[in-house]
Structure 1
């Protein structure tokens, strides 16, 4: 039976492990040094006003997956949207309902918070994720184009003057 709990400061090591696994899944070869990685995660887990929340999926005391999410505002009118940044299930636990259970729990959290939407993205080439979301009967959004500014872009954009 899958149980859920929010990650706290005591989960720093397991959250770091999970995020390393995510990076490896996406093909990252050179990882940030572990101590730097954990310091950045600690800022999120220990913050009184965290920029994101981490929901752990636990099966018999073993963390088998997680979701990181935040609330965006405004969504529809003045309501909020629960935005899922990352949904990850560890390899041996995939295909056993953990991802579906995580999405159900996130939906319940969104409803409890009064959110009007639950939103997420997936890489265009991540066909496994797309197939998973299709099984949930989740409608694919259209009419939006996503933009992403990386660290180098931020420097350049921060120096822009009014045209």
Structure 2
């Protein structure tokens, strides 16, 4: 398999069914299958509509869809510059060990540099030791002093309705 042709390309509207399937595959791997409720219609609107919220890179091995990376821009007030945030990276199990993850991360790093981003960040589940080891091997540094906070569902709606002006 050392002669595998790896291609990283931007996703197109035609890739929406593939992206939806890769998201479901990732959710299954992360033990969060019930949380993956994204629809193809919603993804099409959010990724390729009038105001895209994120972008996707597709990894292919010998022309076969093998993985993806979904990312978007953030902004650092301290740096005064935008950043690149990797929401999800997934390589299908049959294609692991071919360097696709590294190719995707390198493509994202190139995008961050080309777009003058001050940082490239992502989160990883604390139990996912293979991913953590992979990221450390790339030179990533864990931000252990920071914790992710989240509002969703009823809590989000409750806060949104508080002190409405």
Same fold (TM over 0.5): yes
C-alpha distance in structure 2 between counterparts of 1:138 and 1:75, whole Å: 21
The answer to whether the Cα contact below 8 Å between 1:75 and 1:116 also exists between their aligned partners in 2 is no
Within 5 Å, which residues of 2 pair with 1:54-65? 54-65=56-67
Which residue is 1:8 aligned to?
A: 12
Counting matched residue pairs gives: 160
Which residue is 1:74 aligned to?
A: 76
Q: Deviations over 1:61-105 (max 9, x none)?
A: 211111000011235432111000001000111122110111111
Root-mean-square deviation (Å)? 2.0
User: Unaligned 5+ residue runs, structure 2?
Assistant: none
Structure 1-normalised TM-score?
Answer: 0.88
Within 5 Å, which residues of 2 pair with 1:1-163? 1-30=5-34, 37-74=39-76, 76-161=78-163
User: Unaligned 5+ residue runs, structure 1?
Assistant: none
Secondary structure class of the residue paired with 1:73? strand
C-alpha distance in structure 1 between counterparts of 2:119 and 2:67, whole Å: 22
Q: Which runs of 4 or more aligned residues in structure 1 lie more than 6 Å from their structure 2 counterparts after TM superposition?
A: none
Shift of 1:148: 1.0
